[in-house]
Amino acid sequence: MNTYKDKYSKDVSSFFRSPVRDIFKKVDLNAIYSFAGGYPSAETFPMEDIRNTMSLVIDKYGGKAFQYGATQGVTELREAVAKRCGVPVERVQITSSSQQGIDVCTRVLVDPGDVILTSSPSYLGALQSFKSYRADVRGVSHCKDLDAFRQAYESEIAKVQAEGKKIKFLYMIPDFQNPSGESLTLEERQMLVALAQKYDFLIVEDSPYRELRYEGDHIPSLYSLDPDRVIYLGSFSKIFAPGFRLGWAIAHPDLLDKIYVCKQSLDLCPPVFDQYVAAEFLESGKLDENLLKTIALYKGKRDLLLSLLEEYMPEGVSWTHPEGGLFLFLTMPEGFDAVAFYDKSLSAGVAYVAGEFFHPDRSGKNTMRMNFSFMTPEKITEGVKLLAELLKDEIL
């Protein structure tokens, strides 16, 4: 009955399946070598602390923890996030996952045909959401040279203006970007904020990995460079547990009010019990304790992956050296097709995400994203050896 598929639905051009989520629908990630997802390691979930905190939340809040809550989030969590981020509480909206933060920003800001600027590559889940609102997404590739980088944006902006279109916002993941793992320098951040001010558009700063830094110093957030022009999106998924589906948005109160009204009809409020658990975790310092362990664990896995790539990858394969986060990005020789190669790789037991899915213009066919947080060191080692063998056969 394929009629049902499209007959009643709206303009199908706005539907864009996530190849990543579809992988998870079909394959048990624990049964293969998966470099595919952005999954934290289950070792990092402080189960006993969570069990005790849940019991404590039931004692402390009683029925309130299971009742409907405020659309903007429960006060205790909003205040804990405000304190952690050093912003006034009226600038904090709790979201039901930072993916919802991305989606809701697009929903309140973007009319069909409006332009969203982003890096190329950029986060697949964001591109998927942008597309669902029929935004005109323009990707700009990174240039090491600052002036060339600015020029690349200036010329894209000029194109948009020539077409008489409106740029609604720039979507950026400045820290340990998904998928590349790379971060923007302070100068690059200042340049982008200056462009937003010059051409008067907003910036959506997606920052789920910021606290997962394994070397180097923290770089000021885009939000800190212009708090009234930047909507900052944070997430508990990588620093606490994704199973709670909690994140936050920090923005000018007038912008937050739009998100608040939208969220009323979206899901009324974020999960209430989960919010109290997260608030207790933040306030008790348990989240920071756990974060230190997580950082140590992931740093080890990143170092392991880098050394394994060095040792086993064939000539012509290069990769990024992330200072934090969950991912690095692999580039194969020109002509390699990571999508075509995927079936062979998966049937051999190795999953990754083809880089072209992260490129708004579907370029980057010879790239792939590799996650290093999810698997054990043993599986990372076996997985890299296996992938390297497969790539050798393909490339050489």
> Segment near its own copies (CB under 8 A), from 69-77, 183-191, 337-345, 358-366?
69-77
Does 100 contact its own copies by CB under 8 A? yes
3-state secondary structure of 394: helix
Beta carbon nearer to its own copies, 10 or 218: 10
Of 76-84, 247-255, 283-291, 343-351, which segment contacts its own copies by CB under 8 A?
247-255
Interatomic CA distance for residues 366 and 363, integer angstroms: 8
State yes or no: residue 60 binds its own copies (CB under 8 A).
Answer: no
Rounded CA gap, 121 and 382, in Å?
28
Question: Are 53 and 47 spatial neighbours (Cβ–Cβ below 8 Å)?
Answer: no
- Enumerate residues 28-57 that contact its own copies by CB under 8 A: 37, 39-40, 42-43, 45, 47, 50-51, 54-55
Inter-residue contact 369 to 39 (CB < 8 Å)? no
Q: Is 62 in the site for its own copies (CB under 8 A)?
A: yes
Query: Is position 242 an interface residue for its own copies (rule: CB under 8 A)?
Result: yes
Tell me: does residue 334 bind its own copies (CB under 8 A): no
Contact assessment for residue 149 and residue 188, using Cβ atoms and an 8 Å cutoff: yes
Residue of the chain from 171, 273, 329, 336 that contacts its own copies (CB under 8 A): 273
**Residue 375, both tokens:** 């698997």
Determine which residue in the list 143, 150, 165, 271 makes contact with its own copies, applying CB under 8 A.
271
Contact 342, 354 (CB under 8 A): yes
Omega within 30 of 0 (cis) for the link into 227: no
Footprint (CB under 8 A) of its own copies, residues 163-222: 168-169, 201-202
269 near its own copies (CB under 8 A): yes
- Candidates 270, 324, 360, 364; binder of its own copies (CB under 8 A) is 270
Q: Does residue number 63 form part of the binding site for its own copies (CB under 8 A)?
A: yes
CB of 159 to its own copies, least distance (A): 20
3-state secondary structure 186-206: HHHHHHHHHHHHHHCCEEEEE
Q: Is 286 one of the binding residues for its own copies (CB under 8 A)?
A: no
Closest listed residue to residue 129, CA positions, set 180, 204, 23:
204
| Among the listed residues 146, 148, 194, 268, the single contact to its own copies using CB under 8 A | 268
Distance of closest approach, residue 16 Cβ to its own copies, in angstroms: 8
Cβ at position 206, least distance to its own copies in Å? 13
Q: How far is the CB of 390 from its own copies (least distance, A)?
A: 26
Stretch that binds its own copies, among 59-67, 154-162, 296-304, 316-324 (CB under 8 A): 59-67
Does residue 109 bind its own copies (CB under 8 A)?
A: yes
Using CB under 8 A as the binding rule, the residues of this chain from 72 to 91 that contact its own copies are 72
Question: 168 phi and psi, to 5 degrees?
Answer: -85, -45
Q: Give the nearer residue to its own copies in terms of CB position, either 273 or 329.
A: 273
CB of 59 to its own copies, least distance (A): 9
Which CB, 30 or 155, lies closer to its own copies?
30
Task: Please give the Cα distance from 40 to 86 (Å, whole number).
Answer: 26
- Per the CB < 8 A criterion, the answer to whether 335 and 93 are in contact is no
Which member of 93, 97, 294, 371 binds its own copies (CB under 8 A)? 97
Q: d(Cα 396, Cα 98) in Å, to the nearest integer?
A: 41
Q: How many C-alpha atoms does 152 have within 13 Å on its Cβ side?
A: 19
CA distance 29 to 36: 9
Note whether 117 binds its own copies by CB under 8 A.
Answer: no
> Any contact of residue 279 with its own copies (CB under 8 A)?
no
Rg from Cα positions in the chain: 21
For its own copies, the closer of residues 108 and 295 by Cβ is 108
Q: What single DSSP character describes residue 64?
A: G
Q: Which DSSP helix (H) or strand (E) runs through 70?
A: none
User: What residues are paired with 93 via a beta bridge?
Assistant: 249
8 binds its own copies (CB under 8 A): yes
Q: What interhelical angle do 286-312 and 377-395 show, nearest 10?
A: 30
- Least Å from the CB of residue 231 to its own copies: 10
* Binding of residue 120 to its own copies (CB under 8 A): no
